[in-house]
Amino acid sequence: MTASTFAPGLVVRGFMPPLALSDFKLIAFDMDSTLINIECIDEIADAVGKKAEVAAITEATMRGEIRDFKESLTRRVALLQGVPVAALQQVYDDRLRLNPGASELVAACKAAGLKVLLVSGGFTFFANRVRDRLGIDFARSNLLDEADGLLTGRVVPQAWGDICDGAEKRRTLLEVASLLGATPAQCIAVGDGANDLPMMSEAGLSVAYHAKPKVREQAMVSIETGGLDRLLELLRH
């Protein structure tokens, strides 16, 4: 697909704006570095002096150099063994911020009648708080195991499976769309890393936000400067 610059820092591929926001029924967001400004796992690792080690794995995974997200996450979570659970609240309070335009984009989507899904390879501790803060309808993410106030370095299997990776993000998008009576074409998917590509490839509109090159090149919309609400420049609402 040929890319064209719609406006400075806003690149579109394969369609002519504007689209009607009300033609869509679901918008799905990745969380870390998409809806929020940090990679939570990197910041938790900082509590035990392992941020550089964990961040290097995170970065390689998001660039698509480590193909197996489950293996990547398992390796990174193992490095968190012994981190006090209290450190999660500290990361949330001190470091986690919504990315610019997140509130505005979610509010506009809800006003247009869309349901909102947060689907993350990050953790329930953060995803559920971000869900509640933004009034998001559905959230799926990974659950960190803990014992005696410390992280064990493991992820707890949940009813839907063990780890929310790219395949699970795709499956969740399709499952929620089905529950809403929506087709994949009526979905928008927003992400920044390689494990967002499976759900982005299913959606009628795929959006890369300040994303890795591999993701920008495959998305129908690439927001390269400014906030998430720049998507609204391409949508009638």
Residues forming the active site: 30, 32
CB burial of residue 181 (10 Å; 0-12, 13-18, 19+): exposed
Tokens 């961040």 belong to 55
CB burial of residue 224 (10 Å; 0-12, 13-18, 19+): middle
CA angle 192, 193, 199 (to 5 degrees): 85
Reported as half-sphere exposure (CB side, CA atoms, 13 A), residue 66 has a value of 18
Element (H, E) at 116: strand 115-123
Are 174 and 202 in contact by the 8 Å Cβ rule? The answer is yes
Whole-angstrom CA distances from 187 to 25, 82, 112, 176, 218 are 6, 40, 13, 10, 16
Are 188 and 207 in contact by the 8 Å Cβ rule? The answer is yes
d(Cα 152, Cα 82) in Å, to the nearest integer?
Answer: 6
CB burial of residue 232 (10 Å; 0-12, 13-18, 19+): middle
For 33, the token pair is 């570095």
